[in-house]
Amino acid sequence: MRILWDEMMPIDFKTIDDFDVKDKTVLLRVDINSPVDPNSGIILDGTRMKLHSRTIKELATKGAKVVILAHQSRPGKKDFTTLVQHANVLSQTLNLDVNYVDGIFSDNACTAIKNMDSGDILLLENVRFFSEESLNRSPKEQSKTVIVKKLAPLIDIFVNDAFAAAHRSHTSLVGFTKVVPSAAGRVMETELKILLNSLENVEKPCVFVLGGMKAEDSIMVMENVLKNGTADFILTTGLVANITLLAAGIDIGEVNVNFINNKGYCDMVKKVKELFKTYKSQIIYPIDVAVNSDGNRVDVSTDKIPNNYIHDIGVNSIKEYAKIIRTAKTIFANGPAGVFEDPKFAIGTYDILNAIATSNGFSIIGGGHIAAAAVANGFDKSMDHISSGGGASISLLAGKSLVAVEALKDSINKH
């Protein structure tokens, strides 16, 4: 992997390197939220376990008593479940024993923490089983919650490695930074270094490929990177492309217009129209699209779009986008190009990823569906960085601060 940042770059938060963790009790927040079979409870994919294994293993190898806090899904979801399966998968991934306790701050959980030896690893119960966890409040307010009051006296250091959840002001992510020395884990550290440095020291030309269904997020990114001069070109795909086409005055068919309106994206159409006034030459939209005609893929020019749902960008657009991608020195991609779950409409996503993977530019892939598509098609090994957190990485690209990261920064002056 090519590295875009200087390894000695100054950072404004502490990392594991700043602490002697031997014989210390370290509370480690990770994000191992995984696809789970709702019937059997079996974890279907352990990618996030592997991701955090570096931090967990390093702490345990250095002699820390590693207490892991994590969540799985949220209340009301079918995969909202205990972490007993996660402990088993983590044990296999690390090739180390990971003990599990059915509690977060119960007497059993607190006793288990007190009885740990150096190098032990203990996974506490799903932190979202406790209702206070998911309330978005300030770090100061979160530091006064029951979880923090119960666990803080038992730990020496708090390490936050949950980059994927860093945009959330939840108790386990921000509360401990107010009361105990705190640091970023290796996943958090790597994500921030790569994303922030690639934005601040971007190599030109820089191309953003923005798609998927979360159009508001992508259009916020579009606005930020155009206004701050990061992006030379924005290639629009997915619902973002449909909104951009509509903003350009192109008839995309009544069903697609209604879909945009029903999603509440009228303001996003207005936003793109405003951006066109200054950046129209930099915002690229498809010259053809693939519509779903009775279950079949039909590629049509954007000046002849029938009243059918648009499910992908067209083959001519793919060719044009690939040419632009291959001229770039930096490429950011977020969101699939179409309904990639259907093989007929996966062509745009596949070919865009292939163009990025075979380009000479430094490539960063957002989390979520685009990352899953990259891994499923074997492109992950050819990308420079695949982010572990879609929401968190998008927030950074949109110019927002991450509350959990800000909490880590603030903790430097408190401990």
Residue at 173 is within a domain:
yes
State the binding site for (2R)-3-phosphoglycerate.
48, 128, 168
Q: Is residue 303 part of a domain?
A: yes
Q: Is residue 392 part of a domain?
A: no
What does DSSP say about strands 288-293 and 310-313: parallel, antiparallel, or unpaired? antiparallel
69 plus 119 within the same structural domain: yes
Half-sphere exposure of 318 (CA within 13 A, CB side): 21
Residues 243 and 164 in one domain: no
First to last CA, the chain: 35
Q: Are residue 125 and residue 216 in the same domain, yes or no?
A: no
Annotated binding site for substrate: 31-33, 48, 71-74, 128, 168
CB–CB of 351/290 below 8 Å?
no
Do 259 and 126 sit in the same domain of this protein?
A: no
| 122 and 256 housed in the same domain | no
Which helix H or strand E contains 182, and what residues bound it? strand 182-184
Which pLDDT value is given to residue 2?
46
Q: Is 348 domain-assigned? A: yes
Q: What is the pLDDT of residues 273-312, one digit of tens each?
A: 999 999 999 999 999 999 999 999 999 999 999 999 999 9
Residues 174 and 42 in one domain: yes
- Which residue segment(s) compose the domain that 91 sits in? 16-191+403-411
Phi-psi region of 275 (alpha: psi -120 to 50; beta: other; left: phi over 0): alpha
Judgement on whether residues 274 and 319 belong to the same structural domain of the protein = yes
Annotated binding-site residues for ATP read 341, 367-370
Together in a domain, 222 and 166: no
CA distances from residue 13 to 189, 321, 409 in whole angstroms, order as listed: 9, 38, 5
Q: How many domains does the chain have?
A: 2
Examine the domain organization and report whether 277 and 335 are in the same domain: yes
The answer to the question of residue 103 being in a domain is yes
pLDDT, tens digit, for every residue of 51-94? 999 999 999 999 999 999 999 999 999 899 999 999 999 999 99
- List, as residue ranges, the binding site: 31-33, 48, 71-74, 128, 168, 341, 367-370
Within this chain, do residues 268 and 148 fall inside the same structural domain, yes or no? no
Which domain CATH number covers 128?
3.40.50.1260
pTM: 0.90
Residues 350, 220 share a domain: yes
The pLDDT of residue 4 is above 70: no
pLDDT tens per residue across span 189-205: 999 999 988 888 899 99
Say yes or no: 213 and 176 in one domain: no
